[in-house]
C-alpha cells in the first residue's frame, strides 16, 4: 500500500466534503462487504467514484488492486474520468475498470491456456454464434423452418447466463423442442472449442471453469483484486453473481451499488434476488440507503414512492426530495391513440409557448416499440423535431420495410428492389445464385425481373426452384386481386395469413421476434385505421402514398434540439425536465396479464419512468386503441390508481380525488370524456379548452340534431368506424340507434354518449 499522509488528514479528505452524510459513510466504509441501495437520482455514480478515489488517496491502496465492474463501456469511461478529475490526471490509468465481459476477456487472455484453449482465442459475436448454431443444426438434420435459429440462440444464451450447462439442460429438457435444443447446445459448445472460440456468454462462464479447475489462479486474483466494486448490482445475472462471489471470497471487500426498485431486465437474465439476498450472502454486510433525490420534485417522488411501495419483494426505502413541491401530475385522457398523441403534441407546443422550453426538455415514453408509430406521425404533423432512442423510426424497421415492399410489389410489379427484398422472405430457399440466374434470364428476354420469376418454367430452372417461385407469384397475384376489390387492410391481412409471418415470429418467442411481431401488428392496425377513417380513399395506392410521405421524414435533425422518443427500458439512466408516459392502460402498461413477480417488474418499470422526470410528469391513456388490426376498448392502468389522487389533476385542472366514482365509471365503460381536453396556460395551470379536431370531409357532429337519424343514414364512430343506421329507438335523452358497422358488426348505442357523426 502507499503510505497515507497522516500529518494532514483534512487535506486528504477535503474532496469528501461535497458528499451528504450517508454518501460519506458509505465511501469511508472500506473494509468488509458493503451494499449501497441508491435510489433514483441519489448520486450513485458519485459514491462509487469517490470511494475508489478515497481508497487510492487516503487508504493507500494501489490502483491495480481495485477491480470495478460496470455494465456499459460508457459507465466505465465516465467513472474513470471522474476519478481522474478528483485525483491527479492519469491516476486511474492502472485501475481495472470495465464491463464484466471486457475485464474477464482480458483475464482469460492470460490464463485460458490452463483449461485447454489457446490464448489467441476468437470471440464470436451474435451473428457468428448463429452461423455456428445453423451449422450444428444442419449436421443434426434439424430444419431452421421448424426450429428457428434465433430461438435456439436465445435459449442457449439464457441457459449460459443462468449457468445451466449442457448436461443440466439435457436433464431438464421435457418437451420435443427443448430436447432438440439440448442436442444443438451440446454440439455448439463442442464446436466452439474446436474453433478455439468463445461467445459473449463464455467470457463469464470460462472464468468460473478456470477458477474451479485452477484454484491457485483464483487465489492469485483474490490477492490481486483486494477491493471489488460492482455498479448496477440489481442487473447482475447468475453467472455474474457467481464469478464476483468467487473473487471476493478471500478478502470479502465487496462493494455493490444498485437499486432493487430499478431491476427491469429479467427478460435478459437479470436476477433481482442477487441484490435482495445480499445480506444472506454476507451476514456482516453494512447497508447504506441513499434516499436524498437531487433530480425530481416532491410531487413526482411522492408518486414514485406510492407506486413502488405496492411491491412485496423489495428492500423498503422512500425517496426524499431536495427540490420543491412542483406541479401536480397531469392525467391525459383521450378517446383513441391518435387523439392521445395529438394531445401530447399540443402540450409540448403549449409549454414551449408559455415557458420558452426547448424541444430537448421533453421526452415521450411508451411501453412497446410499436407504440412509437402514431406518436411519430403526430410529431411530423405538428412539425415537432424528434429522435427515436434505442431503436429506429417505425417505418425504417426491417419487418415494416419488408411488409411494405410486398405491398409495393403488388401495386407495381416492375419494382425490382421490392421484389429482391421479399422474394426469400419468409425463407423459400431461393438463394443468391438462383436470383442471379433469374436476372440473366430477364435480360436475355428483355422482360422485368418479376415477369422472369413468373416465367421461370421456361428458363430451364430446377423443378424445386420453379415451384417456390410459382408459390411466390401466386401470392402476389392473389394480393393484387384483393387490392382491386378491397383495402390495404385486406391486402396486408392476406399477406400475414398466407405467409404465416406472425405465427413464425410468435413461435420464435425471443424478445426481438416478439418486438417484430408487435410492429407488424401495429402496421395492420394502421391499415385498418386508415380504411375506417378514409372510406372513399382506402386503396392500397392511397395507403402507400401515406407511408411514403411518413417514411421520408428524417428524424435525425442536424440540431440537437429535439423531443426524445423511447421505450421506458431505453430511458433508464436518463432524465428530462418534462416527461410523458403514454399508453397507461391495462394489458399495455402493465403489459398483458402477469404472475405476481412479473407484475412487480412492470411496476418497477413504471417507477423508472416516473423518476426520469425532473419538473413535470404527464400520464396518458386512450379509451380505445387499434390492436391486432381491430379497435379495442381499453381500461385505465391500475398503476395510475396506485398514485395519491390528490397529486394528479385532469387537463381541466380538477384533482382526480374530487370525483373518483365518476372517473372509475368512465374507465369501466370505456366512454370518451368529451370536453376534458385542456391546454396548460403560462405558469403551468391548465385552463383554456383545446378545440375539438374534426375529421376531414363532410362529416359533422350531430349530437343536437338527433331527429336526423333514420334507417339508411351513414355515420362515423370514433372507435367502430363507418356504419349504417338500421333502426332508431326512442327520442330525446334516451334515444338509441342500432347500427351495422362495417368492421365491428351490429351495435346499439345511446345517441347522447356515442358522439356519432353523420357522413
Please state the residue numbers annotated as binding site.
Answer: 38-45
Rounded alpha-carbon distances, angstroms, from residue 17 to 24, 478, 591, 611, 659: 8, 74, 45, 27, 49
Q: Cell match 392473389: residue?
A: 478
Say if residues 301 and 321 touch (Cβ distance below 8 Å). yes
User: Which one of the listed residues 612, 614, 616, 671 is annotated catalytic?
Assistant: 612
Q: Cell match 345511446: residue?
A: 750
Query: What is the distance between the terminal CA atoms of the chain, rounded to a whole angstrom?
Result: 84
DSSP of 612-669, one letter per residue? Answer: TEEEEEEEEEESEEEETTEEEE--B-HHHHTS-GGGEEETTS-BGGG-HHHHHHHHHH
User: Which one of the listed residues 44, 82, 160, 528 is annotated catalytic?
Assistant: 44
Say if residues 36 and 47 touch (Cβ distance below 8 Å). yes
> What gap in Å lies between CA 620 and CA 630, rounded to an integer?
21
β-pairing, 700-701 with 757-758?
A: antiparallel
C-alpha cell at 631: 379497435
Cα radius of gyration rounded to whole Å, the chain: 30
Q: What are phi and psi of 726, to 5 degrees?
A: -100, -35
Q: DSSP assignment, residue 552?
A: T
Say if residues 465 and 456 touch (Cβ distance below 8 Å). yes
User: Which one of the listed residues 199, 201, 232, 235 is annotated catalytic?
Assistant: 232
> What gap in Å lies between CA 381 and CA 366, rounded to an integer?
19
Give yes or no: 44 in active site: yes
Give yes or no: 262 in active site: yes
> What gap in Å lies between CA 215 and CA 659, rounded to an integer?
67
β-pairing, 34-38 with 286-290?
A: parallel
Give yes or no: 231 in active site: yes
User: Which one of the listed residues 236, 262, 297, 539 is annotated catalytic?
Assistant: 262
Give yes or no: 437 in active site: no
Q: Cell match 437479470: residue?
A: 270
Rounded alpha-carbon distances, angstroms, from residue 148 to 131, 136, 400, 411, 421: 12, 13, 20, 31, 20
Say if residues 469 and 442 touch (Cβ distance below 8 Å). no
Name the region of 675 (left: φ>0; alpha: ψ -120 to 50; beta: rest). Answer: left
Instruction: Find the helix or strand (DSSP H, E) in which 752 lies.
Output: helix 751-754
> What gap in Å lies between CA 49 and CA 98, rounded to an integer?
13
Give yes or no: 724 in active site: no
User: Which one of the listed residues 202, 231, 259, 602 is annotated catalytic?
Assistant: 231
User: Which residues fall in the annotated binding site for ATP?
Assistant: 38-45
> What gap in Å lies between CA 135 and CA 635, rounded to an integer?
48
Give yes or no: 330 in active site: no
C-alpha cell at 215: 484454484
Residue length of the chain: 759
Task: Give the 3-state secondary structure of residue 363.
Answer: strand
β-pairing, 227-230 with 66-70?
A: parallel
Rounded alpha-carbon distances, angstroms, from residue 438 to 246, 411, 424: 60, 21, 13
User: Which one of the listed residues 45, 473, 638, 735 is annotated catalytic?
Assistant: 45
Burial track 513-528 (b if 16+ CB lie within 10 A, e otherwise): bebbbbbbbbbbbbbb
For the annotated catalytic residues, the residue numbers are 44-45, 231-232, 262, 612
Amino acid at each position: 500500500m502507499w503510505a497515507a499522509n497522516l500529518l494532514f488528514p483534512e487535506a486528504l479528505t477535503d474532496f469528501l466534503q461535497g458528499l451528504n452524510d450517508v454518501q460519506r459513510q458509505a465511501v469511508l466504509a472500506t473494509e468488509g462487504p458493503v451494499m449501497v441501495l441508491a435510489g433514483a437520482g441519489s448520486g450513485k455514480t458519485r459514491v462509487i467514484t469517490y470511494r475508489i478515489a478515497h481508497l487510492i488517496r487516503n487508504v493507500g491502496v494501489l490502483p491495480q488492486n481495485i477491480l470495478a465492474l460496470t455494465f456499459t463501456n460508457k459507465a466505465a469511461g465516465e467513472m474513470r474520468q471522474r476519478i481522474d478529475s478528483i485525483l491527479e490526471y492519469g491516476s486511474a490509468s492502472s485501475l481495472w475498470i470495465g464491463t464484466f465481459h471486457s475485464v474477464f476477456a482480458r483475464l482469460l487472455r492470460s490464463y485460458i491456456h490452463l483449461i485447454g484453449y489457446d490464448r489467441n482465442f476468437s470471440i464470436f459475436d451474435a451473428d457468428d454464434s448463429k452461423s455456428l448454431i445453423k451449422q450444428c443444426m444442419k449436421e443434426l438434420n434439424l430444419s431452421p423452418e421448424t426450429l428457428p435459429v434465433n430461438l435456439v440462440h436465445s435459449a442457449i444464451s439464457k441457459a449460459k447466463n443462468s449457468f445451466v450447462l449442457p448436461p443440466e439442460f439435457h436433464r431438464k429438457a421435457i418437451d420435443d423442442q427443448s430436447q432438440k435444443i439440448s442436442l444443438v447446445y451440446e454440439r455448439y459448445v463442442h464446436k466452439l472449442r474446436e474453433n478455439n472460440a468463445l461467445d459473449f456468454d463464455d467470457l463469464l462462464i470460462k472464468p468460473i471453469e478456470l477458477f474451479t479447475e485452477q484454484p491457485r489462479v483464483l487465489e492469485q486474483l483474490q490477492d490481486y483484486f483486494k477491493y471489488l466494486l460492482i455498479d448496477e448490482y440489481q442487473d447482475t445475472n447468475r453467472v455474474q453473481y457467481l464469478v464476483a462471489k468467487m473473487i471476493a471470497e478471500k478478502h470479502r471487500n465487496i462493494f455493490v451499488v444498485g437499486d432493487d426498485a430499478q431491476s427491469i431486465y429479467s427478460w435478459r437474465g437479470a436476477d433481482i434476488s442477487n441484490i435482495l439476498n445480499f445480506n444472506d450472502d454476507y451476514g456482516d454486510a453494512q447497508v447504506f440507503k441513499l434516499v436524498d433525490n437531487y433530480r425530481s420534485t416532491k410531487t413526482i417522488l411522492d408518486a414514485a414512492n406510492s407506486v413502488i411501495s405496492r411491491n412485496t419483494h423489495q428492500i423498503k426505502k422512500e425517496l426524499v426530495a431536495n427540490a420543491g413541491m412542483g406541479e401536480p401530475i397531469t392525467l391525459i385522457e383521450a378517446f383513441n391513440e391518435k387523439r392521445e398523441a395529438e394531445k401530447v403534441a399540443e402540450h409540448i407546443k403549449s409549454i414551449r409557448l408559455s415557458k420558452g422550453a426547448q424541444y430537448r426538455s421533453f421526452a415521450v415514453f411508451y411501453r412497446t416499440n410499436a407504440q412509437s408509430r402514431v406518436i411519430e406521425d403526430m410529431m411530423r404533423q405538428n412539425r415537432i423535431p424528434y429522435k427515436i432512442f434505442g431503436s429506429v423510426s417505425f417505418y425504417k424497421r426491417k419487418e415494416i420495410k419488408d411488409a411494405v415492399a410486398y405491398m409495393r410489389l403488388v401495386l407495381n410489379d416492375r419494382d425490382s428492389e421490392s421484389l429482391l427484398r421479399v422474394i426469400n422472405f419468409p425463407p423459400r430457399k431461393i438463394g443468391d445464385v438462383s436470383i442471379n440466374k433469374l436476372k440473366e434470364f430477364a435480360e436475355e428476354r428483355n422482360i422485368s425481373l418479376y415477369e422472369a420469376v413468373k416465367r421461370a418454367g421456361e428458363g430451364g430452372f430446377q423443378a424445386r426452384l420453379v415451384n417456390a417461385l410459382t408459390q411466390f407469384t401466386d401470392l402476389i397475384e392473389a394480393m393484387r386481386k384483393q387490392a382491386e376489390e378491397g383495402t390495404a387492410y385486406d391486402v396486408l391481412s392476406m399477406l400475414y395469413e398466407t405467409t404465416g409471418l406472425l405465427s413464425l415470429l410468435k413461435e420464435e418467442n425471443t424478445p426481438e421476434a416478439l418486438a417484430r411481431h408487435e410492429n407488424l401488428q401495429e402496421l395492420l392496425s394502421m391499415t385498418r385505421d386508415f380504411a375506417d377513417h378514409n372510406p372513399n380513399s382506402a386503396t392500397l395506392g392511397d395507403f402507400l402514398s401515406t407511408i411514403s410521405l411518413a417514411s421520408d421524414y428524417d428524424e435525425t435533425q442536424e440540431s440537437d434540439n429535439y423531443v426524445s422518443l423511447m421505450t421506458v427500458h431505453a430511458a433508464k439512466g436518463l432524465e428530462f425536465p418534462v416527461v410523458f408516459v403514454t399508453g397507461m392502460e391495462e394489458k399495455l402498461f402493465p403489459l398483458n396479464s402477469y404472475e405476481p413477480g412479473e407484475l412487480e417488474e412492470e411496476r418497477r418499470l413504471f417507477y423508472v419512468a416516473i423518476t426520469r422526470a425532473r419538473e413535470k410528469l404527464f400520464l396518458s391513456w386512450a379509451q380505445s386503441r387499434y390492436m391486432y388490426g381491430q379497435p379495442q376498448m381499453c381500461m385505465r392502468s391500475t398503476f395510475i390508481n396506485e398514485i395519491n389522487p390528490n397529486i394528479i389533476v385532469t387537463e381541466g385542472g380538477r384533482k382526480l380525488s374530487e370525483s373518483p366514482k365518476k372517473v372509475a365509471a368512465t374507465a369501466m365503460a370505456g366512454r370518451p370524456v368529451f370536453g376534458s381536453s385542456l391546454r396548460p396556460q403560462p405558469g403551468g395551470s391548465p385552463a383554456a379548452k383545446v378545440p375539438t379536431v374534426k375529421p376531414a370531409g363532410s362529416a359533422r357532429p350531430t349530437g343536437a340534431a338527433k331527429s336526423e337519424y333514420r334507417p339508411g343514414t351513414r355515420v362515423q364512430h370514433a372507435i367502430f368506424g363507418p356504419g349504417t343506421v338500421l333502426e332508431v329507438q326512442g327520442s330525446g335523452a334516451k334515444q338509441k340507434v342500432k347500427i351495422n358497422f362495417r368492421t365491428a358488426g351490429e351495435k346499439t348505442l345511446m345517441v347522447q354518449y356515442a358522439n356519432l357523426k353523420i357522413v
